[in-house]
Structure 1
Amino acid sequence: MDLSDFRKEYTDRGLSREDLAADPMAQFEQWFQQAVELKLHEPNAMSLATVDATGRPLLRTVLLKYFDTNGFVFFTNYQSRKAKHIAENPNVSLLFPWVILERQVIVQGRAEKISATESLKYFTSRPRESQLGAWVSDQSSVISSRKLLMQKLAEIKDKFANGEVPLPSFWGGYRVVPETIEFWQGGSARLHDRFLYERKEGGWEIERLSP
């Protein structure tokens, strides 16, 4: 299929240096709130890129669960493929593709495990079914059938039927500590506005990038 003529002209919404907050996390919060107010579907969905020990990249979508001045936090099974990649190479990248807003945010940084206390705090806030699901899924491993998965779920439900579901030792969060954050705003005639925040000693440096 030839997609060479499949294009959309962007609006001239624009983004100027004067529009930007001095801190990229404050700028991200501003854009995120706008995405929420406009009722984008899952604005916290982000693509996570990791690289394995042989240098092969892998991309998947995960959900941002909270962010603050320290970085972006998501949760997963610590035995998953993404966790193994991070153990081998903690350098990762995130992408927030807010296409409807003609925006994207690209983060480069290092992923590090959060504390068990932080993971427990989030885990206890999850619906019970999601808590059980964390125990059931041996994430990224090969399974012979969905029936086997459902049998394991029934066993876990029975095991924890009379009490709270504990935090699995193999499940928890990662924080991506950003080193660079790029804010991209689509522009007319493909003259997009791009600004890169780069962490420097003593603060953040902001540079405009060519589209």
Structure 2
Amino acid sequence: MPTRPPARRPACISTWAPRRRRRWNRLWSRLPASSWWGLALLLLVIGLGIGALLAGVRLVVVQTESMAPTLRAGDALLVVPVAPERVQVGEIVVVRRTVPYGRTTVVAHRVVAVRPGPEFVTQGDANPQPDPGTVSGRALIGRVVWRLPGVGRGLLWLQRQSLALVLLLVGVGLLALSLTADRSRRCPRCGALWSDGPGGEGRSDAPHPA
């Protein structure tokens, strides 16, 4: 008696695009509340940073011990703009000074005298003598309003590692996207890839196992 050949099981047919949207919707809905709070905090920090930059606020890292013990190497300083006429003796200001060989450096020192112009005489708390010459109002960057002990070391490290860090984050992001895209394009029953061509939208030619 002739045997009937086994019937071919129908190919897996599904609507891939809606399935992909549902998958992303489930992914977002499963994020814990802590992730949303973290995202909100990140957006807040970014917003504050942009606002500070627009307002002229700067973050300066102390790199020497000339202001010890008030300021230590590795501290980060929050510097706000100030009009030269409002600077008073005893305040710590950040100024641009010309050093040997014509280079310009940024210095955070205390104002010990104000002269007409106005021009300022500055001195480091750990230095026995005032800085040579005077500083004009045009070289004034701002007044120090806040000190973050030790934070500057981390900022300097991030600055040195910024390119490598960006490349690492981009690589991890691309890898995660590729893995997510591959999983979302597979049939959850048979694991076959959905077709994308004309007439093959949402179709897999691999038969389902019995």
TM-score under structure 2 normalisation?
0.23
Task: Identify the structure with the greater helix proportion.
Answer: 2
Whose radius of gyration is greater, 1 or 2? 2
